[in-house]
A and B are shown apart, each in its own frame.
Chain A
Amino acid sequence: MDCLDFQKQVSLLIDGVLSGTDKKTLDRHLEGCPECSNVYRLMATLNEQVRSLKAPATQTALAQKIKARIASRNLLRSSDPGFLPHWARAPLFATIILLALGLGNFAGRSLFEVFIMYQPENVVDLLVQENSQSFGEVVMNIGNGEDMR
């Protein structure tokens, strides 16, 4: 091991994680090496200085502010009638879409008209009523000049 390796161990010693044989070996090295011994002294002092660089104390109101924000959020959540767990949201959304599509198909008719009074109208009859011609006549007259009038 060279001095750089011992200095890495010095850092561990300062943090209190070096023990046993490693610590004894380092102690022996520090006794005989002025450079590493100096690094140990400087790093230990520096560590105390860094420890003392604590941030200025927070306002006591900070924790209260956080709690107030949490409380208002909680209140909002519990008073929201639409609040549902995540797993229930997708099926609910799908049901709403299906209902909307289904209701759209009623096209202004009531449920009674749709399901009780419903009588399918013949498309051909509609054509006959409109043009006084049968479906066959309409098809046969396509391209005929008379039909264009």
Chain B
Amino acid sequence: MERPDNLTDEELVLHAQKGSEAHFNALVDRYTQMVYRLAYGITGRSQDAEDIVQETFLKVFIHLDRFSPSKGTFKSWLLTIARNQSINVFSLLKRNVLRIFNEGDPDQTSLHYSENPLIEHQQDVESLLSAKQEFFKVKQAVDQLPERQKTALMLKAQENMSYEEIAAVLKTSVSSVESLIFRARRRLLEIIGK
């Protein structure tokens, strides 16, 4: 039998739909990080993001028979579910409360300074400090974007998804995705003050 790693998403789903747990697990391995990044991007909290990842895969497992490749790619279907879960968790009320608590709290992002390549390569202290401030500024600006603009921009910039795939996740047209990403970039430049 061919190894699950060598199969496409849709082939893995087909096997999983017939009851193969190993093939479903291969999908879990393939997409856990991506779903986590999306959930974290929307909620801004790692614990919430981890819960969302678990709930998303459970939901996908339960409703796997509803997936059909003729309706779109597995990746788009999975990220649509993850996005809906994230929005449910991160209600407007929560977001406002978090924003109040996070203002002026740079520690929240300090955990992944060390993993950031733009910061890692700064040699002297002054450059490092400046890069950290810039990183924090950009992060705060991204957090202020409307959810659809933020999700569209993140899926493009971080996951390098095509406009068509992003359109499927957001249930919109390709031209709307182009517009969402452009508006997100313009808004970021305004917030950052450039």
Contact = CB atoms under 8 A, between A and B. Distances in A.
Contacts, number: 109
Given A66-B57, A69-B58, A70-B28, A46 B178 contact: no
Main DSSP-derived SS at the A contact region:
helix
Interface in A53-81: 53-59, 62-63, 65-67, 69-71, 73-74
Given A42-B189, A56-B46, A62-B32, A50 B54 contact: no
Interface string B154-167: 10111000010000
B68 to A, nearest CB: 17
Contact of A51 (B49, B134, B158): B158
Interface stretch (B1-9, B95-103, B111-119): B111-119
Interface of A: 7-8, 11-12, 15, 17, 39, 42-43, 46-59, 62-63, 65-67, 69-71, 73-74
Interface of B: 21, 24-25, 28-29, 32-33, 36-37, 40-41, 46, 49-50, 53-54, 57-58, 61, 111-112, 115-119, 134-135, 138-139, 142, 153-154, 156-158, 163, 178-179, 181-182, 185-186, 188-189, 192, 194
